Amino acid sequence: MRILIVEDTPDVAEAASASLGRAGFACDIAATLADARACIDITGYAAIVLDLNLPDGSGRDFLRERRRAGDLIPVLVLTAQFSVEDRVGALDEGADDYLVKPFDLRELEARLRALIRREAGRAENRIALAGLDFDAGAQSLRVNGAAVTATRRELALLNLLIANRGRIMPKDRLFDGLFGFENADVGTNTIELYVARLRKKLAGSGVSIETHRGLGYRLDLDG
């Protein structure tokens, strides 16, 4: 799950990025609308966290622009405390949710998760597939009833694969989801490595990660 944070205050952006990172999201930070556009052109995001006051324009314009272009990516807007006008306006222009600054990082995380969930058409954070039971909120994983420990990266990968289960995920998509730009120099072999590690932990669960040579990986039920 890759998130774009459009926010020009470094402290806020980095705090959010760190918090969301810990929650298994890969975050990119854009300090201007121009940066944001560049990021969006380069890669896809599961959601955007958008501050309204930016050095090169209003986030509301950006939002309107994206919606006019037919982009339905979930957008969570950050507004100042007393600008009711901005809040309402942003919602009118297609924002999916807003958060008043200063905000609680956990709430940001929870709301983002809710947005992404809604977007994916799912009702729950918890998913059971055959012998696999994964709860994104508690970051807990069970295989055939037994708790299995997994690391942050493994959970992030599993999250991605589950969210797109049945579909073949290109390796670079997985890579984008696991690492933001700041880790862009990581070798692509890493994905293969984590797939291997995940497979070991999912062994016997009834779901497996299939390799599709030259195309990517797909998580699905066995058989």
| Interface contacts to a second copy, rule CB under 8 A | 19, 22-23, 37-38, 41-44, 81, 100-107, 137-140, 147, 149, 151-152, 155, 166-168, 170, 172-173, 176, 212-216, 218, 220
Which residue's CB is nearer to DNA, number 97 or number 154? 154
Among a second copy, DNA, none, what binds residue 154 when CB lies within 5 to 8 Å by partner kind? DNA
Site track 151-190 with DNA (rule: CB under 7 A), x = hit: xxxx----------------x-------x---x-xxx-xx
Which residue's CB is nearer to DNA, number 9 or number 151? 151
Among DNA, a second copy, none, what binds residue 204 when CB lies within 5 to 8 Å by partner kind? none
Which residue's CB is nearer to DNA, number 22 or number 167? 22
Q: With CB under 7 A as the contact rule, which of the stretches 46-54, 66-74, 128-136, 207-215 interacts with DNA? A: 207-215
CB 104 to a second copy: min, Å? 5
- Residue from 193, 204, 221, 222 in contact with DNA (CB under 7 A): 193
Which residue's CB is nearer to a second copy, number 53 or number 140? 140
Angle at 2 between CA 130 and CA 77, to 5 degrees: 115
Which residue's CB is nearer to a second copy, number 7 or number 176? 176
Which residue's CB is nearer to DNA, number 70 or number 223? 223
Of 72, 82, 5, the closest CA to residue 36 belongs to 5
State the DSSP string of the chain. Answer: -EEEEE-S-HHHHHHHHHHHHHTT-EEEEESSHHHHHHHHHHS--SEEEEESEETTEEHHHHHHHHHHTT----EEEEE-TT-HHHHHHHHHTT-SEEEESS--HHHHHHHHHHHHHHHHT---SEEEETTEEEETTTTEEEETTEEE---HHHHHHHHHHHHTTTSPBPHHHHHHHH--GGGTTS-THHHHHHHHHHHHHHTTSSEEEEEETTTEEEEEE--
Q: Rule CB under 7 A: say whether 140 interacts with DNA.
A: no
> What amino acid is encoded at 126 in this protein?
R
- Residue from 72, 196, 203, 221 in contact with DNA (CB under 7 A): 196
- Residue from 39, 77, 143, 195 in contact with DNA (CB under 7 A): 195
d(CA 124, CA 3): 20
